[in-house]
Chain A
C-alpha cells in the first residue's frame, strides 16, 4: 500500500523587541544568567503583567506579512502545565482568541508549480525560562535562567496542508524571509529565534483520512525539519505495514542518529482565560495603519526586479530573499551601478566574502557607496576585474576609499598601448608554440597569450587592449 503524509507545523518565533512581553526587562536572553529579571517575569506574589505594545505591534506585523487576518478581539489565557522552566504553573498564551486567523504562504513545489500552504492561526505567548544542567565536581546541579522567561513569541499554527519534507522546508524558508522583511524577528533556527515542531500522520494515498499524528520536536535547522519528517514518514509507514498502531505521542529528532526517538505521551494542557490582561481590541483603522508600515514583500520585490532591472526570476528571488540584500542592491543601482553588474558583484563577490568573514550587510565597511565607487572605476577601465576583487578584499578591513587603495597598491590598469605593445611583443616572441596554435585556428590560444601578458604586467594590464594588440600583431 502506498502512503502519503499529512503534515502540519507549529512554529515559534521570538520577536526582536527591546523588552519582554509583560514587563520592562531587556529581552536579551543571552546575557549573564538571571540579570534580566523582575518580580513580573519571576512571577513573584502580587506580580501583575502589562502587555508590551511594541510586542503586540511586531506580532501584528508578522500576521499581516503572512496574509493572516488580525482579529478585532484577542485575549490571553493561562495554559496550565507545570515544569521547572515554567514555575508559576501556567504559560500566558492565546488559546481561545488568537491574535489572527487564516493566512498563507506560497512555495514552489518540486515539480515547479506554485503551492499555497495555509495558516490556521497566529497567537502570541511568553517564552519559558532556560534550564541548565551542570556538574559541580561530581555533583549534578540544575539551574534555571529566567532571562528568557517572558520573552515575546508568536506561534504560527498551520493547516495540515503539507505532504512532503520539501513542503515543510520551503514553507519555513519563505516564512523566515517574510518575517525578516516585516522586521519582527531574525528567525534563526540555529540561534533559537525560530523553532518548528511538526505533526505528522500517514494515510493511504487517495484517501481523506486524518489518522493519529505524532509530534516531532528538537529540530534546529530547516534541513533537520526535512530530515526528521522524512524519517518519521518512513518510520510510520513501516510500522503500519507490519500491523502496528500509531499512538499519539511526542518524539525528539536526534540529528546524530538521524532518527526520531520517543519523548513522552502527548499532553494537551487546558487553557483558562487570564483576567490580569485585558482583552486586546484592534480597530480596523489601527490594522490599516499597521498595514501601511509593511514593506514591499519579497515576492513582489522579486517580480519588480525582473521587470525593472531585467534580472532572471532566480536572480531576482535570490537578491530578494533578505531585505538587507535587496535594499543594498537597489542602493547600488541608485548610485549609478548597472543592474547586472550590481547583481553579479553582490551575489558572487560581496555576499560570499561576508559569509566567509561571518559579517552581515548591516555592519560591513563595504557600504553601497564605497562599492559603487569601486565598480565605477571598473566600468571606466581604471582597474580591471582582478584588481577590483583585490581592492574589495581590502575594503572589508578599512574605510579607505577604493581609489586610495588602488593608488596605494599600484593596481591602476595599464591601458597605454605603447607600454603594452612592448610586453605583447616580448610574450609573442617567447610563446612561439601558442602563436602557432592560434594561427592554425585554435582560438583558445588567445586566452593563454592574454594571460601571459597579464602576468607580465603584474595583473595591471587592460585585457581588452591586450587582446586588440595581440590580434593586430598576429594578423599582420
Chain B
C-alpha cells in the first residue's frame, strides 16, 4: 500500500449510507482533506495539514464514499513523473475511483499510463474550493476509474454550483445517457493536425483505434484545426505565468521549511521563498516570471490567441458531436521541454476549458483515445465512453 499511498486514512470506514456507500476513493494530495497532510509532492509544503476539506471531498463523503488515502503526487501535481502514483490505486483495484488535478492533461495521462478511464470536466463544472492547483484558468478536478459509469457517478456528486466558488459559470448541463448514443447520427471528428504529431508506429495504432470506432457504426471524419498546435504554446506561456503567480503563496515561511542560517527576517523570507521547489518546477516558475516581468507582450499575445482558440474550438463543436484525439503514454520528464511533450495531445482541453475523456485501448499495448466535447457537454463524452465500454464488454471489438 505504501508504494501507492503517501498517507492512509487512520479512521476505519463503516456505516456510511448514500449513493456512494462503500465506494473507495484515493485522493491526490493537492486536494484538501481537513487535518490530512497536503504536501502536494513538494518540500515547500512539507508538514502542512489542510485547514479544510475541498468541496469535492465534502460531497463525496456526504454521499457515503470512503477516503482510502492520499497518493504520491508529482510536485504540486504538475505533469506525470515516476514519483507520482496517480492511477495506481485504481489500477490495482484498491479503490474504485481517484481524484486528481488535471492542469495540462495529468488525469488523462495517468489514466493512459494505468490503462484506466480518465476524465477532465469542463472548467468550473466542479468547484475549485480546497484544490491547490497551479493554473487556475485551466485546471479541473479529474476523475480516474475502471469504467466511465463510475466516472459519471462521481461527477454527478461532485459537480455543480458551490457557494464557495464564485468563478463557476452557471450553465445548464444537459444529461445524456449511453442509450441515447446512435452511432449513425453521432459525429466523430479527428483533428488532422493532432494526428500529424504521431510517429509512424503511433499513427498506425491510432488508425487502428479509429477503425475500431468505425466498426461500431460511427462515421469518423478528419477535420482541420490549423491553430491546434498553438494550444501547447499558449498553455506553456499562460500556464507558466499563472503557475509562477499561484506558487507564490508557497513561501516556505508559513508552510514547509524555512531556509536555515539567515541573518534577519528579510533575508529569511527571500532565501526561503522558492528554495525548496524541485528543479523542474523551478524551471517552470522561472519561465512564468520571465513572461511576467520581461516579455509581458508575449503573455498578452498568448491570451489573445487563447481567446481565438476558444472561438475556433466552439466552431468545430458546432459541426461535430465529439472530437477524437490520439493519446500517448507519458515519458518521465527530465526537462521542461520533455514535460510539455507530455501535454501535446492533452493541453487543448485545458486551454479551451472543454471536457475530455481518456478511453483506454482495447488492444494490449495500445495508447487509447481521447474524446473532447464542447464546453459544458461533459455528459456527452461520458455517454460515448459508456456506449463504447458496453460494446467492448459485449465483445464487439
Contact = CB atoms under 8 A, between A and B. Distances in A.
Whether chains A and B associate is yes
B62 interface: no
Contact of A276 (B38, B136, B253, B292): B136
Interface string A125-157: 000000000000000101000000000000000
Interface stretch (A45-53, A254-262, A365-373): A45-53
Interface string B222-247: 00000000000000000001101101
Given A50-B166, A80-B292, A45 B132 contact: yes
B298 interface: no
A272 B293 contact: no
Interface stretch (A83-91, A322-330, A426-434): A83-91
B123 to A, nearest CB: 9
Contact of B128 (A51, A78, A140, A276): A276
A221 to B, nearest CB: 29
Q: Is the interface of B mostly helix, strand, loop or mixed?
A: loop
Contacts of B166: 49-51, 277-278
Given A48-B167, A275-B242, A277-B166, A89 B51 contact: no
B87 to A, nearest CB: 22
A73 to B, nearest CB: 15
B248 A45 contact: no
Interface stretch (B144-152, B203-211, B265-273): B265-273
A309 interface: no
Interface in B130-154: 130-132, 136-137
Most chain A beta-carbon neighbours within 10 Å: one of B38, B51, B52, B131: B51
Interface in B112-171: 128-132, 136-137, 164-167
Contact of B165 (A43, A48, A84, A90): A48
B296 interface: yes
B50 interface: yes
A173 B97 CA distance: 62
A273 B137 CA distance: 9
Interface string A190-215: 00000000000000000000000000
A140 B264 CA distance: 9
Contact of B164 (A50, A78, A80): A50
Given A48-B165, A84-B269, A89-B249, A39 B303 contact: no
Interface string A22-52: 0000000000000000010011111011110
A46 B130 contact: yes
Given A78-B245, A88-B248, A44 B51 contact: yes
Given A45-B255, A48-B165, A276-B128, A82 B50 contact: no
Nearest to B251: A87
Contacts of A140: 264-265
Contacts of A284: none
B7 interface: no
Contacts of A51: 166
Contacts of A410: none
A336 interface: no
B32 A89 contact: no
Given A51-B166, A272-B292, A45 B251 contact: no
Nearest to B55: A48
B245 A45 contact: no
Interface in B248-301: 248-251, 253-255, 264-266, 269, 273, 292-293, 296, 299
A46 B50 contact: yes
Contacts of B340: none
Given A82-B273, A276-B128, A276-B136, A43 B249 contact: yes
A447 interface: no
Most chain A beta-carbon neighbours within 10 Å: one of B136, B244, B249, B253: B249
B40 interface: yes
B167 A89 contact: no
B282 to A, nearest CB: 15
B95 interface: no
A272 B51 contact: no
B245 A272 contact: yes
Given A45-B249, A82-B248, A88-B248, A142 B265 contact: yes
B45 interface: yes
A48 B128 contact: yes
Contacts of B248: 80, 82, 88-90
A270 interface: yes
Nearest to A84: B269
A88 B130 contact: no
A165 B32 CA distance: 53
Contacts of B273: 82
A146 to B, nearest CB: 10
Contacts of B266: 84
B249 A88 contact: yes
B303 A273 contact: yes
Nearest to A88: B249
A102 to B, nearest CB: 25
Interface of B: 31-32, 38, 40, 45, 48, 50-52, 54, 128-132, 136-137, 164-167, 241-242, 244-245, 247-251, 253-255, 264-266, 269, 273, 292-293, 296, 299, 303
Interface of A: 39, 42-46, 48-51, 78, 80, 82, 84, 87-90, 140, 142, 270, 272-278
Given A46-B38, A87-B251, 14 more contacts: A42-B254, A43-B249, A45-B249, A45-B250, A46-B129, A80-B293, A82-B273, A84-B265, A84-B266, A84-B269, A89-B251, A140-B265, A272-B245, A274-B136
Closest 5 CB pairs of A and B: A89-B248, A45-B132, A275-B137, A142-B265, A88-B249
25 contacts: A39-B51, A45-B45, A45-B132, A46-B38, A46-B130, A48-B128, A48-B130, A48-B167, A50-B164, A80-B245, A80-B292, A82-B248, A89-B248, A89-B249, A90-B245, A140-B264, A272-B292, A272-B299, A274-B136, A275-B137, A275-B167, A275-B242, A276-B128, A276-B136, A276-B167
